[in-house]
């Protein structure tokens, strides 16, 4: 077997580092440096999540939401470590879809990209919704309440379309310019949350909030777990994926991609935990009259700014209202680009038309960005509000990341001698644990959320099969190598239905349900390892990518 050289690996990712592309039409260029890549990860994480997640996590778990962040951060960090190895070894644009294609074939690569695309394409619209929801405190004509949900008015919809169009224009200008602009935006996005933490702790912190009003865990352990999936914790933390998606345009990716992913998770996790502590301590007594579960009814449109106003910190409140535009907008810009890289990757896999690989003069996938913009416009119409969508996006996103641990374990066997700039110690054991935690987080999202995600997953698989046979494609679908995934989502579907979260029937033993989900996930992990592509097939696919 011939192992690919370093130059081949660079070619597989789209270019030789620091050089121009082969064709100039469909190959991305490496223009993003290490600091810019780190800031891309941070800005992908510090979006609307910091404005709203502390509120909704506290509503679900009370003061114990701090524990939810620690659990969610642990899951995010394990997955970041997994992707640090495979992302450094195979630094490809849209790597979330590309890497499973090499380890488990066509169907697995498509499903990873499909689920990731579902989560990504909804993220820019939800960030715009967050901007307008916060802004409606000052401009009430942007939103209205329908059946208890905050939705956009006609005027708000026009503003939302204009913001999404602005994201498109900025991305079409090119990643080098965008990365430079992102440095300033991300510096702001780090500074303002830390100012909010300092202001709330110094001027309004009440440690009694951690023990009064139902105690530290007013909704029990189940509330802690539910907040991880449904309170915005996972939604907020998994923005590190944008580093993976931009890996094909990173300079020295074998070093910079792992550092940027891990650094982004650690930095933002510390900020989010501080924000949650400050938020809980700053909630005024009057707002807790109905308990933690009723908290959102009082400050749903802008919790941190509302608390700053109550404490007489008008200057901080003004900065928070400005940041309510800057932070979600920055994340929306990042995801507009990252979503296009998923389309680009699926086109490289041969699962989307080559149109999605077409680049403009600034070397960005122009048609991918434009088509995703049009789909984003459709998503604006039914968006019910920030809190109603985060569970759905979180479940789809983490399911797409489940392919990472499986691919790491498979590639350790398929490409044992390939250079790994970052080699995860105990990588297979860590991957197994990460995969088990993925199963638990999806289960915590609950049946009412998961059935929609699983239905879309099945629809995506059926679509690929239909297109494959309709067009007479000769390339194999590698269905055997994807059976583990269908077992995984169908098993999690049954467990969600009979489980104890989000509309489940409550038939599983309390706390014993996590052991059942964990053991089931572990069994699927080893099935996925067993059913990987043959070593020679993985090598052939990589050689074709490098040709």
CA 219/CA 293 separation, integer angstroms:
9
Cα torsion 292, 296, 298, 303: sign:
positive
- For residue range 472-505, what is the model confidence (pLDDT) as tens digits? 666 788 899 999 999 999 999 999 999 999 889 9
Instruction: Identify each DSSP E strand in 305-368 by its residue range.
Output: none
**Is 299 or 531 the better-scoring residue by pLDDT?**
531
**Is 63 or 172 the better-scoring residue by pLDDT?**
63
* Domain at 6-388: CATH architecture: Up-down Bundle (1.20)
φ, ψ at 365 (rounded to 5°): -75, 95
- Asked if residues 57 and 276 have their Cβ atoms less than 8 Å apart, the reply is yes
CA 270/CA 70 separation, integer angstroms:
9
* Buried b or exposed e, range 256-279, using 16+ CB within 10 angstroms: bbbbbbbbbbebbbebbbbbbbbb
124 CB burial (10 A radius; 0-12, 13-18, 19+): buried
How far are the Cα atoms of 455, 463, 482, 497 from residue 493, in angstroms, in the given order?
Answer: 10, 20, 17, 6
pLDDT at 9: 34
Instruction: Identify each DSSP E strand in 140-281 by its residue range.
Output: 143-146, 149-152
250 forms bridges with which residues in the sheet? 32
pLDDT band at 387 (very low <50, low <70, confident <90, very high): low
φ, ψ at 80 (rounded to 5°): -65, -40
Three-state secondary structure call for residue 417: coil
Q: How many residues does the chain have?
A: 547
Domain locations in the chain as residue ranges:
6-388
Q: Which two tokens stand for residue 28?
A: 């991305």
Mean pLDDT of 508-533: 95
pLDDT at 528: 96
Specify the DSSP element, H or E, that contains 346: helix 314-348
- For residue range 394-406, what is the model confidence (pLDDT) as tens digits? 888 889 889 999 9
Contacts of 314 (CB under 8 A, 6+ apart): 308
Name the residue among 119, 226, 220 with its Cα closest to residue 443: 226
pLDDT band at 258 (very low <50, low <70, confident <90, very high): confident
Name the residue among 52, 48, 111, 545 with its Cα closest to residue 299: 52
- For residue range 151-183, what is the model confidence (pLDDT) as tens digits? 778 888 899 899 999 888 888 876 565 556 667
Name the residue among 482, 459, 491, 42 with its Cα closest to residue 262: 42
- For residue range 69-114, what is the model confidence (pLDDT) as tens digits? 999 999 999 998 898 888 888 877 677 778 999 999 999 999 998 9
pLDDT band at 216 (very low <50, low <70, confident <90, very high): very high
- Could you tell me the pTM of the whole model? 0.83
Specify the DSSP element, H or E, that contains 377: helix 366-380
pLDDT at 249: 62
pLDDT at 175: 57
pLDDT at 22: 39
pLDDT at 418: 86
Task: Supply the Cα-derived Rg of the chain in whole angstroms.
Answer: 22
φ, ψ at 151 (rounded to 5°): -130, 165
Mean pLDDT of 29-37: 67
Q: Which two tokens stand for residue 180?
A: 């430079």
CA 387/CA 177 separation, integer angstroms:
33
CA 218/CA 293 separation, integer angstroms:
9
- Asked if residues 410 and 104 have their Cβ atoms less than 8 Å apart, the reply is yes
How much of the chain, in percent, has pLDDT values that exceed 90?
Answer: 34
pLDDT band at 23 (very low <50, low <70, confident <90, very high): very low
- Asked if residues 291 and 219 have their Cβ atoms less than 8 Å apart, the reply is no
347, pLDDT greater than 50 = yes
Q: Is 385 left (phi over 0), alpha (psi -120 to 50) or beta?
A: left
Q: DSSP per residue over 38-82, as a string?
A: HHHHHHHHSSHHHHHHHHHHHHHHGGGHHHHHHHHHHHHHHHHHH
Q: Which two tokens stand for residue 369?
A: 């960005």
For all residues of the chain together, what is the average pLDDT? 83
Q: Which two tokens stand for residue 296?
A: 């959102």
Please tell me what DSSP assigns to residue 140.
G
How much of the chain, in percent, has pLDDT values that exceed 70?
Answer: 86
Please tell me what DSSP assigns to residue 359.
B
145 forms bridges with which residues in the sheet? 150
Mean pLDDT of 202-223: 89
pLDDT band at 246 (very low <50, low <70, confident <90, very high): low
Three-state secondary structure call for residue 252: coil
- Asked if residues 205 and 281 have their Cβ atoms less than 8 Å apart, the reply is yes
pLDDT at 202: 92
pLDDT band at 148 (very low <50, low <70, confident <90, very high): low
- Asked if residues 434 and 79 have their Cβ atoms less than 8 Å apart, the reply is yes
150 forms bridges with which residues in the sheet? 145
- Asked if residues 149 and 406 have their Cβ atoms less than 8 Å apart, the reply is no
pLDDT band at 223 (very low <50, low <70, confident <90, very high): very high
237, pLDDT greater than 50 = yes
pLDDT at 12: 36
374, pLDDT greater than 70 = yes
Three-state secondary structure call for residue 146: strand
């Amino acid at each position: 077997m011939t192992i690919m050289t370093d130059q081949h690996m660079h070619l597989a990712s789209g270019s030789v580092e620091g050089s121009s592309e082969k064709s100039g039409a469909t190959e991305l260029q490496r223009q993003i440096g290490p600091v810019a890549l780190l800031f891309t990860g941070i800005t992908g994480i510090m979006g609307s999540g910091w404005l709203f997640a502390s509120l909704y996590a506290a509503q679900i778990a009370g003061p114990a939401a701090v524990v939810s962040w620690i659990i969610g951060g642990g899951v995010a960090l394990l997955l970041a470590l997994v992707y640090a190895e495979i992302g450094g070894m195979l630094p490809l644009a849209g790597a979330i879809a590309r890497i499973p294609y090499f380890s488990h074939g066509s169907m697995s690569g498509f499903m990873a990209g499909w689920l990731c695309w579902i989560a990504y394409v909804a993220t820019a619209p939800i960030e715009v919704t967050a901007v307008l929801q916060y802004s409606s405190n000052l401009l009430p004509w942007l939103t209205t309440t329908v059946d208890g949900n905050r939705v956009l008015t006609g005027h708000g919809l026009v503003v939302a379309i204009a913001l999404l169009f602005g994201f498109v224009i900025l991305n079409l200008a090119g990643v080098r310019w965008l990365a430079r602009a992102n440095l300033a935006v991300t510096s702001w996005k780090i500074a303002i949350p830390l100012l909010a933490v300092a202001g709330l702790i110094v001027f309004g912190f009440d440690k009694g909030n951690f023990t009064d009003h139902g105690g530290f865990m007013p909704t029990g352990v189940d509330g802690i777990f539910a907040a991880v999936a449904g309170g915005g914790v996972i939604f907020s933390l998994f923005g590190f994926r944008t580093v993976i998606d931009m890996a094909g345009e990173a300079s020295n990716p074998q070093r910079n991609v792992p550092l940027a992913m891990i650094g982004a998770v650690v930095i933002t996790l510390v900020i989010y935990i501080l924000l949650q502590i400050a938020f809980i301590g700053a909630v005024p007594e009057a707002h807790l009259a109905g308990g933690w579960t009723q908290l959102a009814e009082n400050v749903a449109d802008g919790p941190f700014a509302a608390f700053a106003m109550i404490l007489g910190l008008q200057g901080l409140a003004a900065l928070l209202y400005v940041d309510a535009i800057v932070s979600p907008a920055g994340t929306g810009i990042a995801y507009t680009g990252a979503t296009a890289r998923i389309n680009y990757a699926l086109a490289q896999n041969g699962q989307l038309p080559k149109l999605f690989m077409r680049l403009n003069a600034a070397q960005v996938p122009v048609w991918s960005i434009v088509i995703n913009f049009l789909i984003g416009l459709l998503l604006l119409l039914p968006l019910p509000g920030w809190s109603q969508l985060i569970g759905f996006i979180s479940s789809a996103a983490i399911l797409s990341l489940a392919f990472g641990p499986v691919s790491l374990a498979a590639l350790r066997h398929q490409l044992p001698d390939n250079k790994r700039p970052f080699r995860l110690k105990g990588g297979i054991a860590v991957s197994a644990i990460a995969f088990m935690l993925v199963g638990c987080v999806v289960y915590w999202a609950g049946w009412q959320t998961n059935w929609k995600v699983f239905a879309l997953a099945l629809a995506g698989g059926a679509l690929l099969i239909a297109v494959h046979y309709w067009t007479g494609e000769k390339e194999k679908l590698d269905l055997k190598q994807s059976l583990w995934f269908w077992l995984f989502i169908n098993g999690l579907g049954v467990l969600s239905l009979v489980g104890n979260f989000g509309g489940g029937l409550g038939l599983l033993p309390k706390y014993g349900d996590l052991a059942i989900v964990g053991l089931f996930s572990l069994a699927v992990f080893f099935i996925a390892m067993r059913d990987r592509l043959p070593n020679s097939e993985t090598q052939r696919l990589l050689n074709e990518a490098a040709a």
